[in-house]
Amino acid sequence: MSTYLLYHGFGICEASFERMEEIDERLVLFSRFSGRLRCPCCGSEAVIRKGAKVREIRCGLLLLKPVSLSVEFPRIQCHACGAIRQVRMPFCDEKKHYTKGFEQLVKVLAKFATIADVAACLRISWNTVKEIVKNDLQARFSKPDLKGLKQIAIDEICIGKGHKYLTIVLDLISGAVVFVGKGKGCNSLIPFWKRVKKAKAEIEVVAMDMSVAFALAVKQNLPRAYIVNDRFHIVKLLNEKLSELRRKMYHEATTIQQKKVLKGTRWLLLKNPENLDPTRDEEKHLKEALKLNAPLATAYYMKDSLRQFWQQPDIMAARAFLDSWTDQAMSTGIKVLMDFAKTLMAHRLRMLAWYDYPISTGPLEGINNKIKTMQRQAYGFKDRVFFELKIYALHESRYALVG
In a domain, 338, yes or no: yes
Identify whether residues 222 and 371 lie together within a single domain. Answer: yes
Which among 75-89, 336-350, 388-402 has the top mean pLDDT? 336-350
Give the number of other CB atoms < 10 A from CB of residue 25. 8
245 and 391 fall within a common domain: no
Query: pLDDT value at position 260?
Result: 57
Higher pLDDT pick, 163 / 340: 340
Please tell me the distance from the alpha carbon of residue 361 to that of residue 291, in angstroms, as a whole number: 36
Average pLDDT for residues 353-365, to the nearest whole number? 89
**Residue 337 burial class via C-beta count within 10 angstroms: exposed 0-12, middle 13-18, buried 19 and up:** buried
Task: Give the residue among 213, 201, 206, 219 at the shortest CA–CA distance from 153.
Answer: 206
Give the domain CATH number at 180.
Answer: 3.30.420.10
CB distance 272 to 304 below 8 Å: yes
269 has a pLDDT exceeding 80:
no
Average pLDDT over residues 275-298: 64
With respect to residue 336, please indicate whether it lies within any of the assigned structural domains.
yes
Torsions phi, psi for 56 (to 5 deg): -110, 125
Number of domains into which the chain is organized: 4
Shared domain for 253 and 164, answered yes or no, is no
In a domain, 129, yes or no: yes
Mark whether 45 and 79 lie in a shared domain. Answer: yes
pLDDT of residue 348: 92
CB 271 within 8 A of CB 235: no
pLDDT of amino acid 250: 66
| Residue 204 pLDDT | 93
Phi, psi of 89 (to 5 degrees): -85, 135
146 lies in some domain:
no
306-335 burial, b for 16+ CB within 10 Å, e for fewer? beebbeeeeeeebbebbeebbeebeeeebe
Local confidence band at 295 (pLDDT 50, 70, 90 cut-offs): confident
Share of the chain above pLDDT 90, in %: 23
8 Å CB contact between 226 and 356: yes
Mean pLDDT calculated for residue range 115-139: 88
In a domain, 375, yes or no: yes
pLDDT digits (tens, 9 = 90+) for 300-323: 788 888 889 999 999 999 999 999
pTM of structure:
0.76
What does pLDDT average to over the chain?
81
Same domain? 36 vs 177: no
Rounded-to-10 torsion of CA 338, 343, 346, 352:
-100
% pLDDT > 70, the chain: 85
Does residue 75 sit in the same domain as residue 27? yes
Q: Say if residue 341 is in the same domain as residue 297.
A: yes
Q: Which carries the bigger pLDDT value, residue 126 or residue 300?
A: 126
Lowest mean per-residue pLDDT among 108-112, 178-182, 374-378: 374-378
Model confidence at 219: pLDDT above 80? yes
**278 and 218 assigned to the same domain:** no
What's the rounded Cα separation, in Å, for the pair 344 and 348? 6
Are 31 and 50 part of one and the same domain? yes
The pLDDT, as a whole number, for residue 270 is 53
Residue 149 and residue 199: Cα distance in Å, rounded?
A: 10
- Domain ranges, residue 117: 103-141
